[in-house]
């Protein structure tokens, strides 16, 4: 019995020794990060962005500006003609963008026809259906017996919603769309063609939109309830202050003081797209790509997709006894047929 204190004393002195002198030497745990980086660079990753807003708001131009390449549907279609669609069509274009050895499969989902009709009732239905069909596809893959090691991810990670620069309030279509879709996808609202508003009008419009978002309880990204810690909260609060971002897109370069810069030329000067004093394009780019791309994907997987998954599995459980992947495939196929006509 008398040995116990000595044993305790030995252990604590061993810990002190390990702490002070690196008794066991270097383990190398942080090398895991290099392994993960190496793996990620080899396999590459997917990022799927949906753009929604009426025609003429510069959606295609903004996407091209964001990814510094011609990624929009318009740029990829020779002899492209802008025509107003009678209904909402969904069209997606995928590209592999490579930078410093990192490959990204970028998919831009466009929604021509949204908000262009005289009667825009239920014009969000095809969009809602499309998002859910992607969740369904992923769920089917996940539950199939011979599932792929890497499930192709077509789920919409982010929806950039373009608000016309009216300077007034949110329109009923904006409220209805963001209220419905905010529950199933990450929405990032932006004020399009912000150069048509003065700085004062811009700030006033933003305040009004913020008040509307609060009044109608609309959830936009980054959502307060998903902040993981104080550091997250501080960073996201700064972003939340600036939402909706006032943006201007262009894919034309101009010479300013001997430097080539992206900008829009007007009679009275050049609006520098990447200059924070001129517009908030760089804030949007940082949010979507440089700081929050992985977070957008995580929230899509852990929150939106998870909510869908639980709901679907409960539906299937209630309709049938037990659960088999086959049942899911069968019950999903009717949904699919509906979704494939989108």
Report residue 271 as tokens: 């609006």
Instruction: Give 287-338 pLDDT, tens digit per residue.
Output: 998 899 999 999 999 999 999 999 999 998 888 755 555 555 555 544 444 4
Q: What pLDDT is stored for residue 256 in this prediction?
A: 59
C-alpha distance from residue 326 to each of 134, 135, 142, 145, 268 (Å) = 18, 17, 12, 9, 64
Instruction: Give 151-204 pLDDT, tens digit per residue.
Output: 999 999 999 999 999 878 899 999 999 999 999 999 999 999 877 788 889 899
Token pair 């995580």 is found at 298
C-alpha to C-alpha distance for 116 and 168, rounded to whole angstroms: 19
Among residues 316, 333, 305, 326, the alpha carbon closest in space to that of 146 is found at 326
Q: Is the peptide bond before 244 cis (omega within 30 degrees of 0)?
A: yes
C-alpha to C-alpha distance for 188 and 167, rounded to whole angstroms: 18
Instruction: Give 68-91 pLDDT, tens digit per residue.
Output: 767 666 666 655 555 666 678 898
Which helix H or strand E contains 274, and what residues bound it? none
C-alpha to C-alpha distance for 194 and 96, rounded to whole angstroms: 30
Percent of the chain's residues with pLDDT above 90? 41
Burial letters 222-236, b for 16+ CB under 10 A, else e? beeebbeeeeeeeeb
């Amino acid at each position: 019995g008398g040995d116990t204190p000595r044993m305790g004393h030995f252990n604590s002195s061993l810990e002190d020794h390990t702490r002070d002198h690196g008794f066991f030497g270097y383990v190398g745990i942080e090398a895991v990060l290099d392994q993960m980086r190496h793996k990620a660079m080899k396999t590459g990753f997917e990022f799927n962005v949906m753009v929604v807003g009426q025609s003429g708001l510069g959606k295609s131009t903004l996407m091209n500006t964001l990814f510094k390449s011609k990624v929009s549907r318009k740029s990829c279609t020779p002899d492209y003609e802008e025509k107003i669609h009678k209904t909402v069509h969904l069209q997606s274009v995928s590209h592999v963008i490579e930078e410093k050895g990192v490959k990204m499969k970028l998919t831009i989902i466009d929604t021509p026809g949204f908000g262009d009709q005289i009667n825009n009732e239920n014009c969000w239905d095809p969009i809602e259906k499309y998002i859910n069909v992607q969740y369904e596809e992923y769920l089917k893959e996940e539950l199939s017996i011979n599932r792929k090691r890497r499930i192709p991810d077509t789920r919409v990670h982010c929806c950039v919603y373009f608000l016309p620069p009216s300077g007034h309030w949110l329109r009923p279509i904006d409220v209805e769309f963001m209220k419905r879709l905010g529950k199933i996808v990450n929405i990032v609202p932006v004020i399009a063609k912000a150069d048509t508003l003065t700085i004062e009008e811009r700030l006033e419009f933003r305040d009004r939109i913020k008040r509307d978002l609060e009044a109608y309880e609309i959830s936009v990204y980054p959502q307060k309830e998903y902040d993981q810690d104080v550091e997250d909260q501080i960073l996201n609060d700064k972003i939340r202050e600036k939402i909706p971002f006032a943006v201007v897109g262009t894919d034309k370069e101009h010479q300013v003081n001997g430097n080539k810069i992206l900008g829009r030329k007007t009679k009275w000067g050049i609006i520098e797209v990447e200059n924070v004093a001129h517009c908030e394009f760089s804030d949007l780019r940082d949010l979507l790509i440089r700081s929050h791309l992985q977070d957008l994907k995580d929230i899509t997987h852990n929150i939106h997709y998870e909510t869908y998954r639980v709901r679907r599995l409960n539906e299937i459980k209630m309709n049938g006894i037990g659960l088999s992947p086959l049942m899911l495939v069968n019950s999903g196929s009717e949904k699919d047929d509906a979704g494939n006509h989108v």
